[in-house]
Amino acid sequence: MAKFSLLPREGRFFVLFDESAKNAAAVGQKLKEMLDNWGNLEKDVEAITELEHKGDTVTHEIVALVHRTFVTPFDREDIALLAHSLDDVVDFMESAADAMLIYKIEAPTQRAKELAEIIVQTTREVEKAIAELRQKIDLKHILHHCVEINRLENMADKVYRAALAELFNDSSDIPYILKWREIYEHLETATDRCEDVANVLEGVALKYS
């Protein structure tokens, strides 16, 4: 029979969320390094995939802990949504890297590098926002990070739109266009999922601050 805790295990939840956020930031940094130091794609993608698997393990542990804990630090639905949103951030970064390997991309574009830089900034901001949960939930502090995440997501959206415009205007190579359109979409969607994390955190802060 499964054992249930009658007391909130807040410490463990927050440790796991920290791990998930740090892992997302690590993937973002590795993705940027891969694009900035192009030439060892297979090894770099393998490293990103290993980090993605690590993130999956943390997500599964959070979900399992929800089911084992009688009293959670905040709503179960918010805990699950936050865990899966963080996992999605990593999934889309890994998908972008994997697509570059599968499609045998010869060199990264400047727009891809710009998006990767924004992803690094956004995932770091997510990491800072998640760390705020360890303290007494403070609406002002969490909202500060959420506003910055939203600003960065808007920036990524602008770069994404510019990248698509350039892609269709500057090239008549259909396979090239299709490959890069997919990669750009994965990169931009990673920032969208960061915004999802911010939305969950904002909701939690509003409920509990």
Measured CA to CA, the distance from residue 139 to residue 124 in angstroms comes to: 19
The predicted pLDDT at position 140 comes to 79
- For 58-89, write each residue's pLDDT tens digit: 999 999 999 888 888 888 999 999 999 999 99
First to last CA, the chain: 36
Mean of the per-residue pLDDT values of the chain: 91
pTM, two decimal places: 0.91
- For 105-152, write each residue's pLDDT tens digit: 999 999 999 999 999 999 999 999 999 887 666 667 889 999 999 999
Listed as own residue / partner, the contacts of 47-51 with beta carbons closer than 8 Å and 24 or more positions apart are: 48/93, 48/94, 48/97, 48/98, 49/94, 49/97, 49/98, 51/23, 51/26, 51/27, 51/90, 51/94
* Residue carrying structure tokens 């993705």: 31
Measured CA to CA, the distance from residue 160 to residue 63 in angstroms comes to: 33
- Take residue 202 and report the two structure tokens written for it: 């904002």
Residue 10 pLDDT exceeds 90? no
Confidence band of 8 (pLDDT split at 50, 70, 90)? very low
Measured CA to CA, the distance from residue 116 to residue 14 in angstroms comes to: 27
Domains of the chain are 10-208 (1.20.58.220)
- For 15-69, write each residue's pLDDT tens digit: 999 999 999 999 999 999 999 999 999 999 999 999 999 999 999 999 999 988 8
- For 172-187, write each residue's pLDDT tens digit: 889 999 999 999 999 9
Measured CA to CA, the distance from residue 157 to residue 136 in angstroms comes to: 33
- For 140-173, write each residue's pLDDT tens digit: 788 999 999 999 999 999 999 999 999 999 778 8
- Take residue 90 and report the two structure tokens written for it: 């990593």
The predicted pLDDT at position 209 comes to 65
Asked if residues 76 and 13 have their Cβ atoms less than 8 Å apart, the reply is no
The predicted pLDDT at position 35 comes to 98
